[in-house]
Chain A
Amino acid sequence: GAVVSQHPSWVICKSGTSVKIECRSLDFQATTMFWYRQFPKQSLMLMATSNEGSKATYEQGVEKDKFLINHASLTLSTLTVTSAHPEDSSFYICSARRETEAFFGQGTRLTVV
C-alpha cells in the first residue's frame, strides 16, 4: 500500500522557537497533502490543504503566519510551527491522497515547554 512518511515522530521544543515537520509520500506523487491536528481524545481537525506549487489553503481559525506550509515538490510538504507556545502542543498528522484514498503519516507529537 501507499506509504506516507512523517518526520520527526516526536519533538520537544522551547517556547518561542520554531519546529519543522516533514511529510513525504514515498511511492506516489501527491499534488495535494493535508495537515491535521489532534488533541487528546479528540478527532482529527483539518488545519490546511497543501497544494504543490501554490499557496496552502487554511481552515478558518488557523493562523497562516504561525503554521507555515511549503509544498515544494510532488512528494514533500512541510509544516513549520513558528514561535511555538505551550498551547501548540498537540499531535500533528499529515495525509496525502492517491486517487480516491487518503493515507496518513505516523504523526508528530509536539510538546512545547
Chain B
Amino acid sequence: QKEVEQDPGPLSVPEGAIVSLNCTYSNSAFQYFMWYRQYSRKGPELLMYTYSSGNKEDGRFTAQVDKSSKYISLFIRDSQPSDSATYLCAMRGGNNDMRFGAGTRLTVKP
C-alpha cells in the first residue's frame, strides 16, 4: 500500500463547477498537509498549507484535513479554465520526508 493515495483522474468539469480533489494516507505521523498545483512542464507551486486537522480557506480554494480518517480534500469553487492543471497533495511528519500523491489532472472546460 502506498503511503499516499490520490486518484490520478483525469477529471474534466465545466467552468463554474465545484471541484473536489482528495487524498488518503496511511502514516499517522503526518502533520503537515499541502496542495500543489503544477502546470505542464513547470515546477509545483504551493496552493494551500494546513497543519493538523481542520479547514482552511483562501479565495476559491478550501483545504480540509481529517486526521481521524486520514483523508484530505481540496475544493475549488467557481472553477475556471485557468485552474486546469495537475494537483498534487503532499504531506510530511516532523522530519524532512515529504510524500506526494500521484497528482490529479484537472481540466476545466469553458
Contact = CB atoms under 8 A, between A and B. Distances in A.
Interface of A: 1, 4, 6, 32, 34, 41-44, 46, 49, 91, 93, 97, 100-107, 109
Interface of B: 6, 8, 32, 34, 36, 41-46, 49, 51, 88, 90, 96-98, 100-103
Contact of B103 (A43, A101, A103): A43
A46 B98 contact: yes
Given A41-B8, A43-B6, 6 more contacts: A43-B101, A43-B103, A100-B32, A100-B49, A106-B42, A107-B43
Contacts of A46: 97-98
A57 to B, nearest CB: 9
Main secondary structure of the interface of B (DSSP, over half): strand
Given A43-B88, A43-B101, A100-B51, A105 B96 contact: no
Contact of A44 (B42, B49, B51, B88): B88
Contacts of A105: 43
* CB-based closest 3 A-B pairs: A104-B43, A107-B43, A43-B100
**Most chain B beta carbons < 10 A, residue from A34, A100, A102, A107:** A102
A100 B36 CA distance: 15
A43 B102 contact: yes
A10 B78 CA distance: 34
A96 to B, nearest CB: 11
Contacts of B43: 4, 6, 93, 104-107
A103 B41 contact: no
A34 to B, nearest CB: 7
Contacts of B102: 42-43
Contacts of A101: 34, 46, 49
Given A91-B41, A107-B41, A44 B46 contact: no
A83 B22 CA distance: 40
A49 B98 CA distance: 11
